[in-house]
Structure 1
Amino acid sequence: MRTFAVLPLLASVLAGCGGDDAGDGRITLNWYNFPDDSGALQQAADKCSQASGGRYRIIYNRLPRAADGQREQLVRRLAAEDTSVDIMGLDVTWAAEFAEARWIREWTGRAKQQATEGTLRVPLQTATWKDKLYAVPYNTNTQLLWYRNDLVPNPPRTWAEMLDMARDLAQQGKPHYVEIQGAQYEGLTVWFNSLINSAGGSILNEDATEPSLGPPAVRAAQIMRDLANSPAADPSLPNQMEDQNRLAMESGVAAFEINYPFVYPSMRANNPELFKNFRWAPYPRVDADRPSRPTIGGIDLAVSAYSRNPGPAFEAALCLRNRENQLRAALTGGLPPTMRGLYDEPSFIRDYPFAKTVLAALESASVRPITPAYQNVSIAVSHTLSPPAAISPESSVDTIREQIDQALESEGVIP
């Protein structure tokens, strides 16, 4: 049976928590989510509070900026059975762990129907554990290939084509780097997961009971090593995350970038001249005859098992991710929606000219392994494949397999 590590709870963690009553007869619902600088989340909380007709007020509580800090705070509160937590924004890799620990409630009946109706299929997979829905997809995300069409008139379809183009540009003394996440963190796991799924494999088997890996994993590791040891590699590759990739592309040293759509408005604002030649294309394929399957990200909304007001919490969660609020989050915060119909919305397409490319990627996307042991699985991958230049494809995959076996047998604890 899965053993969960319980972090000690400090009294100060719960200090200042709101009660059940807002002081005017309304229920207070505490919503914990990632910190949003666009104002979209606060607007959603305000509008849904108004829409309740005075029955409840939603308080938007900002979690730490880093995903590890977000998870740590939620785990501490839930392990202490904190009743002040009502709605939580979960990273798409956490639902299985939280469900197995019985920290979040299952979505059933009318609430489940409303949560799933019109929602993209792959994001729903991230909110599902053992065929039960434990969260509702709030937003999603996927990587595209971004490139400069003044250097590359036609984008590459495969990783091999991209590396060949990078070599040719390097020989001509032109910008040629492929910016991608090579640091020892979750982004490296995402890169490997996208490659292995694009090669026709997966990290775990369908039941998430043992590693799958095999030849597709070796192929994925080979591509990572080849890039890291080619002229395409930025010298900072072993330390690069998404934002470093964005900055390098904006500085003009790169020809290609594998990243999320947030880079588009950033390039427009920070380098208008280069923006004129900034284009997008589908995530590169491993094989020309097999579609790519980039890994999705995003946030799922879950209702705490310890909430004193689960009924209003489910209702509020559905409101927070409704059509209006998802569209606002997409337009002001750049977060791709999980509702299929919004990809035909003219205002979304106007600000998201790559909407159809994002939708196509989401409809064929892959998810990271869905297992309560995901944190340890991810660490096994990212630690083994760092730095990418030192990867030994077959032996590295063997090491990953051994460490995942240990993680699934609960020989480690959740960090």
Structure 2
Amino acid sequence: MPRSLSLMLAVLLTAGGCATAGEEGGGDTGTGGTGPITFATGRDTTAYLQPLLDRWNQAHPAEKVTLLELPEAADEQRAQMVANLQAQSSRYDVLGLDVVWTAEFAENGWIIPLERGLFPLDRFLPPVVETAIYKDKLWAVPYTSNAGLLYYRTDLVKKPPRTWAELREQSREIKKKHNIEGYAGQFLAYEGLTVNFSEAVQSAGGQILSRDGTEVTLDPAKGEVALDFLLQGLREGWIPEESLSYKEEESRLAFQEGELAFARNWPHAYGPAKAKLGDKLGVTRLPGLNGPGSSTLGGANLAISAFSKHQQTAQEFIRYFTSLENERRVLTEGSFPPVWTELYDDPGLIKRFPYLPVLKESILAAKARPVSANYNQLSLVIASSVAKALSTPTPESADDVAVSMKSELEEIIRTQ
């Protein structure tokens, strides 16, 4: 059957309306209506987008897409989207969602389920596809991925650390010999600290919540080990106290300006660091307790508003925007990690972006944040608990913090 005909039949068969995740027997997709659309996404991702949008608009003069730039901060993006969707406004058609928002938006009926067969999901990195699925339904299409990496100075480090013990030893030696600080991540009390602590727990062999977000699986002993890794670094001075105020940008600048020997950051930091450090820049997987650690999976997915009047156009736009050709541009022009597996094995791209093989390993070993409609509350508890422990001169024991955190998380799960 021709692809266009099969798509038309799929649309006709599923035009019965939008089912929310909570509806019994749901699963139908509702993608009717063609016409102009808006694409709402965060401002920090938009610099390279306009040429891609122009190509679509030239080919679809009656279905042009308009870019709607939302605030740069993820929390503000979410707040603006939620306000629009709660009002059932049709202003937004395609939504650029952080991967952790899928469950919340689906559960509230703000986005529509999609037909899996319309997208080449089998050619995407498997962990990335999982971020778009909630209650066995596809609610969005992966657009970019992300995983944390360890950046290091090759002129100071002969062999990059694979374990926390090696990171500690090398950091202390470098600080003593070269008066350069050791290691930093994102330790301010915000989503970045949740990510960094989650990575530490995972890298110690634990997990904070079950994959479906219905059970707190944090072993206090694993939580204690993860927290002690950070506390030890601060006490001994190989994690600088200044890093308690670091988000992604601050840690990136500190590293590339020569203030740090090691830094945890996302792949977007590679370009500026390479321009500044040249051959002195190295990238590897995050270290863990007994070997390479596990990153938190990041990235963005594209979803369709349940209140869009032009859902068919929105769906076709997403198919275009996540195509192999455009995903290549996402990397080469936007410097964002693509979702197509084959791009990570392309020799030409690897020559231009040498970190791709390591990034692929990191993504495949990464774990998604919990799928929960109350993710924001969970994240606030984690970040505030860890921040209090790290910044208090005489903090509770790491064990007490882990036990208290688990109790607070369980209370949120019980009430959701």
Query: Could you tell me the TM-score, scaled by structure 1's length?
Result: 0.87
Q: Map 1:234-245 onto structure 2 (within 5 A).
A: 234-245=240-251
Whether 1:255 aligns to 2:261 is: yes
Q: Which residue of 2 aligns with 1:64?
A: 71
Number of residue-to-residue matches in the alignment: 380
Q: Which residue of 2 aligns with 1:12?
A: none
Q: Which residue of 1 aligns with 2:285?
A: 282
| Correspondence for 1:216 among 222, 227, 237 | 222
Contact 1:122 1:363 in 2 (8 A): yes
The aligned amino acid for 2:85 is L
Q: Comparing both structures, which one devotes a greater share of its residues to helix? A: 2
Q: Which residue of 2 aligns with 1:123?
A: 128
Q: Which residue of 1 aligns with 2:271?
A: 265
Distance in 1, matches of 2:115 and 2:226, equals 39
Contact 1:146 1:257 in 2 (8 A): yes
Indicate how the Cα distance of structure 1 residues 208 and 109 shifts in structure 2: closer, same or farther if over 3 A, else same.
closer
The aligned amino acid for 1:364 is A
Indicate how the Cα distance of structure 1 residues 94 and 109 shifts in structure 2: closer, same or farther if over 3 A, else same.
closer
Indicate how the Cα distance of structure 1 residues 296 and 343 shifts in structure 2: closer, same or farther if over 3 A, else same.
same
Whether 1:187 aligns to 2:188 is: no
Secondary structure of 2:317's partner? helix
| Correspondence for 1:99 among 96, 101, 106 | 106
Contact 1:40 1:325 in 2 (8 A): no
Distance in 2, matches of 1:70 and 1:265, equals 25
Contact 1:88 1:303 in 2 (8 A): yes
Deviation track 1:226-284 (CA, whole Å, cap 9, x = no partner) reads 12222211231211111111111122121111111222211233x3xx33211111111
Unaligned runs of 5+ in 1: 1-19
Contact 1:228 1:237 in 2 (8 A): no
Distance in 2, matches of 1:372 and 1:285, equals 29
Deviation track 1:178-236 (CA, whole Å, cap 9, x = no partner) reads 12111001111001111212222211124421211003222211212112222211231
Distance in 2, matches of 1:258 and 1:393, equals 22
Distance in 2, matches of 1:38 and 1:279, equals 27
By how many angstroms is 1:293 displaced?
1.3
Distance in 1, matches of 2:274 and 2:290, equals 32
Contact 2:174 2:182 in 1 (8 A): no
By how many angstroms is 1:376 displaced?
0.4
The aligned amino acid for 2:113 is E
Contact 2:212 2:370 in 1 (8 A): no
Q: Which residue of 2 aligns with 1:309?
A: 310
Indicate how the Cα distance of structure 1 residues 278 and 206 shifts in structure 2: closer, same or farther if over 3 A, else same.
closer
The aligned amino acid for 1:181 is Q
Among the aligned pairs, what percent are the same residue?
31
Distance in 1, matches of 2:177 and 2:197, equals 30
The aligned amino acid for 2:213 is A
By how many angstroms is 1:167 displaced?
1.3
By how many angstroms is 1:36 displaced?
4.7
Q: Which residue of 2 aligns with 1:7?
A: none
Contact 1:115 1:136 in 2 (8 A): no
Higher mean C-alpha deviation, range 340-349 or range 184-193: 340-349
Secondary structure of 1:59's partner? strand
Q: Which residue of 1 aligns with 2:92?
A: 85
Higher mean C-alpha deviation, range 231-240 or range 81-90: 231-240
Whether 1:45 aligns to 2:46 is: no
By how many angstroms is 1:169 displaced?
1.9
Query: Could you tell me the TM-score, scaled by structure 2's length?
Result: 0.87
Contact 1:170 1:231 in 2 (8 A): no
CA RMSD of aligned residues (A): 1.9
Q: Which residue of 1 aligns with 2:39?
A: 31
By how many angstroms is 1:37 displaced?
6.6
